């Protein structure tokens, strides 16, 4: 509890906050990682057979079918108390940036404002034409999975692909730049439910630490980020984040004390 209280004090006094989330953030909403989502009809595949540009070009119906199945499963999930706590932090601290490695939309549905999606989103498909752009598709196919032909872009006629980052692809440049800038300017960064081993995303907490921010990790298990964190809170997002928010703004602390200065 001492670590929760000390972190709550940091948070309550902060002016600029980054919340950096990984797969553990959504695990308590029942959202499996893409590797763990190879079940049922998909159990005979491995992730690299489906999550590459080469796989899509070789068999777009197969890849689109798997992602539609995943999109339908995520749509049935609901934000957990951890997602709601992140939205509560944003409501208290206007200069909060949520950066996520997750491709679900649970932060948005919990009330977060425009989270930065480093690995894209299941809900932001785009065409594969010469000038790729966002494409609109209908509701996800809510069935047991299988081959589904991808739609064609209404603007250019090219195939529509999932809006996620596949193996061998670079992260979206605008998203990565926004994430690095926010990390370099914050005074507190919460890293939640991420292993800290997938680069370049794993560099984000380290950017904040080098800039002088207090980096706080929320994770049930140790990770390579332990060494750069000022505080390591051992617990899940749904358990720890609501407790942290309650301790920071429980009516007796109310952002008391001298505000922490953010790097400019």
Binding positions for substrate:
67, 70
Secondary structure of residue 122 in the 3-state scheme: strand
List, as residue ranges, the binding site for Zn(2+).
127, 153
DSSP string across 53-121: HHHHHH-HHHHHHHHHHHHHHHHH----HHHHHHHHHHHH-SEEEEEE---SSHHHHHT-SS-EETTEE
> Phi then psi for 100, rounded to 5 degrees?
-130, 145
Look up 107 and say whether it is catalytic.
no
Among residues 1, 87, 113, the alpha carbon closest in space to that of 9 is found at 1
DSSP state string for 179-205: HHHHHHH-SEEEEES--S-STTTTHHH
- Considering 83, 107, 117, 119, which one is annotated as catalytic? 119
Which sequence positions are flagged as catalytic?
119
């Amino acid at each position: 509890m001492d670590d929760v209280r000390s972190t709550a004090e940091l948070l309550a006094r902060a002016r600029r906050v980054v919340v950096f989330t990984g797969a553990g953030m959504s695990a308590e909403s029942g959202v499996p990682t893409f590797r763990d989502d190879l079940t049922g009809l998909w159990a005979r595949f491995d992730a690299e057979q489906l999550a590459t540009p080469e796989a899509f070009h070789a068999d777009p119906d197969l890849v689109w079918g798997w992602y539609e199945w995943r999109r339908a499963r995520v749509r049935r999930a609901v934000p957990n108390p951890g997602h709601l706590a992140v939205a509560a932090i944003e409501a208290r601290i206007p200069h909060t940036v949520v950066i996520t490695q997750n491709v679900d939309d649970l932060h948005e549905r919990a009330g977060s404002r425009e989270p930065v999606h480093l690995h894209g989103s299941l809900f932001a498909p785009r065409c594969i034409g010469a000038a790729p752009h966002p494409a609109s598709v209908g509701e996800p196919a809510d069935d047991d999975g299988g081959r589904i032909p991808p739609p064609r872009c209404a603007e250019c006629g090219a195939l529509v692909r999932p809006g996620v980052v596949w193996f061998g692809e670079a992260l979206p440049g605008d998203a990565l730049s926004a994430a690095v800038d926010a990390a370099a300017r914050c005074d507190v960064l919460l890293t939640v439910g991420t292993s800290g081993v997938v680069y370049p995303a794993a560099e984000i907490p380290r950017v904040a630490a080098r800039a002088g921010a207090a980096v706080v990790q929320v994770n049930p298990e140790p990770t390579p980020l332990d060494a750069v964190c000022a505080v390591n809170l051992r617990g899940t997002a749904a358990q720890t984040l609501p407790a942290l928010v309650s301790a920071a703004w429980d009516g007796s602390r109310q952002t008391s004390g001298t505000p922490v200065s953010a790097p400019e």
